[in-house]
C-alpha cells in the first residue's frame, strides 16, 4: 500500500493500454490541464498499461469473460497498491463497467457518463449528437442510452463511414502512425454534421489523436479530455473552468 503524503490529494488508478497511445494521450492531458504552481501539484497516477487485454471488438462469451476478469483483477491490484479512485481511458471497455465496479470498493469514473454530462451541462442548446466510436461501443449502446436519458437525439455513421472510422482507429492501435488519418476522420465526422449533428462526441480515445476542434464547424467533445479533466477534479477536489467558446 502506498502512503500518500498529501492527504488533500487523491491518487488515480488508470486501467490503460487500450490502446497504448490513447492512454499516453490521456496522461498527457492530465498533466496539461492540471492547474499547478509547482511540480507537486500534479495528479499522482498509478497506471496499468496493459495492451494484452483481448480486443473489445470481438465479444464472444469466452473473450468477454477474459476481458472482464483481466480488467477486474487490474482494478483490484490498483486499489490494493493505493489508488483512491479509478479511470479507464477506453470507451468500449465500459461495457464491463459494472463487473469491474463490483470487484472494488473505490469510486470508478465512467467515461461515457462524464462525457454525456459535459454536453448536458455546457451545451444544453445542442440537441443532436453525432457519435464517433468503435462498432462494438455503438452496438453496446452505452452512448445512445446516456444521451436518451439526457433528452438528446443522436446520429451514427452509415455503414461505409463506420468502416472507415474503424480502419482509422485500428491504424492508430496497430501501427501507431497518424500520417494522413486526420483528413480521413474529418470526412467521417463531416458526414454526421451533414446529416444534422450539431455537436460531435469523439467517443473512442484514439479519435482525439487525429480529430481536433479546429477541424470541424461544430463543437468536438473529446471523451479523453473530459476524463482527464474529471480525473484532475476528483484527485485535487477542485473545479476546473471550461474554455468552450
Residue 241 lies inside a defined structural domain of this protein: no
Q: Is residue 102 part of a domain?
A: yes
* Same-domain pairing of 106 and 119: no
Query: Is residue 243 situated within a structural domain?
Result: no
**32/72 same-domain check:** yes
pLDDT digits 0-9 by tens, 160-184: 999 999 999 999 998 888 989 999 9
34 as an active site residue: the answer is no
For residue range 56-104, list pLDDT tens digits in order. Answer: 998 899 999 999 999 999 999 999 999 999 999 999 999 999 999 999 9
Q: What is the pLDDT of residue 6?
A: 55
Catalytic residue among 34, 90, 137, 165: 90
Q: Are residues 99 and 158 in the same domain?
A: no
Q: Is residue 117 part of a domain?
A: yes
**pLDDT given at position 245:** 67
Residue 68 lies in domain: 12-110+226-236
Judge whether residue 1 has pLDDT over 80.
no
> Does the model's pTM come out above 0.85?
yes
The tally of domains found in the chain comes to: 2
Q: What integer best gives the mean pLDDT of the chain? A: 95
Q: How many CB atoms lie within 10 A of CB 4?
A: 13
CATH number of the domain within which 95 lies: 3.40.50.1860
Q: Which of 34, 137, 165, 204 is catalytic?
A: 204
- Decide if 7 is inside a domain: no
User: What pLDDT band is residue 244 in, cutting at 50, 70 and 90?
Assistant: confident
Q: Are residues 166 and 101 in the same domain?
A: no
Tell whether 130 and 92 lie within a shared domain.
no
Question: How far, in Å, are 26, 47, 164, 196, 197 from residue 191 at the CA level?
Answer: 27, 36, 12, 9, 9
Q: What is the reported pLDDT for 74? A: 98
Task: Assess whether 137 carries a catalytic annotation.
Answer: no
pLDDT tens digits for 22-36? 999 999 999 999 999
**Same domain membership, residue 136 and residue 45:** no
Domain shared by 143 and 92, yes or no: no
Q: Which three cell numbers stand for residue 99?
A: 463487473
7 pLDDT tier (thresholds 50, 70, 90): low
Amino acid at each position: 500500500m502506498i502512503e500518500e503524503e498529501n492527504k488533500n490529494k487523491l491518487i488515480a488508478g488508470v486501467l490503460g493500454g487500450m490502446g497504448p497511445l490513447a492512454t499516453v494521450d490521456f496522461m498527457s492531458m492530465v498533466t496539461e490541464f492540471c492547474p499547478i504552481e509547482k511540480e507537486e501539484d500534479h495528479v499522482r497516477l498509478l497506471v496499468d498499461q496493459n495492451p494484452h487485454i483481448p480486443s473489445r471488438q470481438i465479444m464472444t462469451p469466452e473473450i468477454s469473460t477474459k476481458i472482464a476478469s483481466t480488467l477486474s483483477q487490474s482494478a483490484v491490484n490498483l486499489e490494493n497498491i493505493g489508488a483512491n479512485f479509478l479511470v479507464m481511458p477506453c470507451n468500449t471497455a465500459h461495457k464491463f463497467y459494472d463487473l469491474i465496479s463490483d470487484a472494488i470498493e473505490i469510486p470508478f469514473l465512467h467515461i461515457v457518463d462524464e462525457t454525456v454530462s459535459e454536453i448536458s451541462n455546457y451545451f444544453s442548446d445542442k440537441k443532436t449528437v453525432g457519435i464517433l466510436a468503435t462498432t462494438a461501443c455503438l452496438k453496446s449502446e452505452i452512448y445512445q442510452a446516456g444521451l436518451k436519458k439526457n433528452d438528446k437525439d443522436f446520429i451514427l455513421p452509415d455503414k461505409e463511414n463506420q468502416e472507415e472510422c474503424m480502419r482509422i482507429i485500428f491504424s492508430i492501435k496497430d501501427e501507431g502512425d497518424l500520417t494522413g488519418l486526420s483528413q480521413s476522420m474529418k470526412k467521417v465526422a463531416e458526414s454526421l454534421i451533414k446529416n444534422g449533428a450539431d455537436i460531435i462526441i469523439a467517443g473512442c480515445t484514439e479519435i482525439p489523436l487525429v480529430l481536433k476542434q479546429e477541424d470541424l464547424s461544430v463543437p468536438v467533445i473529446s471523451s479523453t479530455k473530459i476524463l482527464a479533466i474529471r480525473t484532475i477534479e476528483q484527485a485535487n477536489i477542485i473545479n476546473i473552468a471550461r474554455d468552450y467558446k
